[in-house]
Amino acid sequence: MSTLSSGVFAPVLTPFHADLSVDSGRFLTLCRRLLDDGCHGLVLFGTTSEANSLSLEEREGLLEVFIEGGVDAGQLIVGTGLCAIPETVRLTGHAVGLGCAGVLILPPFFYKGISDEGLFAAYAEVIERVADDALRIYLYHIPKVSGVAISAELITRLREAYPKTVIGIKDSSGDWQNTRMLLEDFPGFRVFPGNELIMLDALRLGAVGCITATANVNAAGLANLYAGWRGEGAEGLQETASAVRRAVQSQAMVPALKAIIARRNKDDGWLTLRPPFVGLDEERAGALFAALEGAGFTA
């Protein structure tokens, strides 16, 4: 398994046909475009991918489409965390076997109030069952969605037990203090903020990049920020990226991103979402594109 571990990563949107089946053609086209537009890597089956609306077979099939389409598995981190340990093991082993750069694993997220002891046991069970020295895990901390936090104490214990396996984290807490703590207290741990609003500050403290939903539509702008964060124009690049982010998140994120791609590609097929997501109505779509125009962004 490759150890690609820095840069701008897009958690790739999942397109669907009108009958709600996965559209692998549009998916592969988007993956290639994101890499061409400057993404250093891609994340499949994260929150933005509507991953928890996909079956195991659909996830495995799309990953194979990616690989068979000639895209380098070494540019890919795969979301594999589910509530059931056997399913997490299955998806994780599949990704490792295909040579992906890493896996992004949510904690088991149905039961709440779980102790660090229980969470450690869950991660440890996955690692021991996959039993592959090539496995590289990024923890996925998104407590506002999962309802289950990944504490500093849990990270410490996992790193001590599996130092070559548990190598990083995507911090989607939305809490700068948490991101800063991770960067300051865990040297060498590969920290990806989950949105670009704090990207410059995080890079200056040692973050290795950013995994952000808006890379699906603003890959070039974010790649410019990553390339130029040490330069004199870094603050301006950050503000430009932040303005786009604020415009997009003024509406529901996944429907908004799909609406932008539909307009950009002149392809209404991108407007299809799996329930429980619903598309933006005319008023909300209008507000989205007005906000983007105000941010100087051409959809």
- The catalytic residue positions are 138, 170
Q: What is the DSSP letter of 242?
A: H
- C-alpha–C-alpha distance, residues 194 and 200, integer Å: 13
3-state secondary structure of 8: strand
The closest of 177, 171, 173, 161 to 191, measured between CA atoms, is 171
CB contact at 8 A, 140 and 103: no
Identity of residue 17: H
What is the rounded CA–CA span in Å between residue 159 and residue 167?
8
CA-nearest of 227, 281, 225 to 256 is 281
CB atoms within 10 A of CB 139: 23
Asked if 288 and 247 count as a contact pair (C-beta separation under 8 A), the reply is: yes
Helix, strand, or coil here: 27?
helix
